[in-house]
Amino acid sequence: MSYPTDLKYTKEHEWIRLEGETGTVGITDFAQQQLGDVVYVELPEVGATLTAGQVFGTIESVKAVSELFAPVSGEVVEVNASLKDRPEDVNGKPHEAWMVKVKLSTPGEAGALMDAAAYEALLAK
């Protein structure tokens, strides 16, 4: 698997697509493989405040519950409601099935994220 180069990555296996002051957040292909079949995604409401590195939601597979960690700080401006009925999209197209869109409060934080090459190197370890 080669990871999309237009995304940035965290060591907790989230991805974020940065467009101006907005970031779109999901989990990586590696993360969905580790989870197995996703059956439920619990996300914050629009307007919630995220803090980089802190838990903002949970994702459940048949077997396990995992926490979602915010790659950046900011305010949730949109939530992907389609995951309510189609949580399996996280397995099928992990880099498209986004979870939240965030208006960045501290854009400088994005500099600490990994690019695709660095993320692939992390996975190869």
Residues that bind another protein (CB under 8 A): 36-37, 39-40, 42, 58, 60-63, 65, 84, 91
Of 118 and 123, which has the nearer Cβ to another protein?
A: 123
User: Are 119 and 3 spatial neighbours (Cβ–Cβ below 8 Å)?
Assistant: yes
Cβ 62 to another protein, closest distance in Å?
4
- Which CB sits closer to another protein, 57 or 71? 57
Output 60 or 120, the one with its CB closest to another protein.
60
Compare residues 42 and 75 and give the one whose CB is closer to another protein. Answer: 42
Report the nearest approach of another protein to the CB of residue 74 (Å).
23
Residue 65 CB, shortest distance to another protein, in Å, is 7
In whole angstroms, the minimum distance from the beta carbon of 106 to another protein comes to: 27
- For residue 50, what are the contacts with CB-CB under 8 A and spacing of at least 6? 44, 56, 70, 72, 73, 74, 75, 76, 100, 102
Three-class SS of residue 39?
A: strand
CA distance 89 to 37: 10
Alpha helices in the chain (DSSP H): 29-35, 82-85, 89-92, 116-124
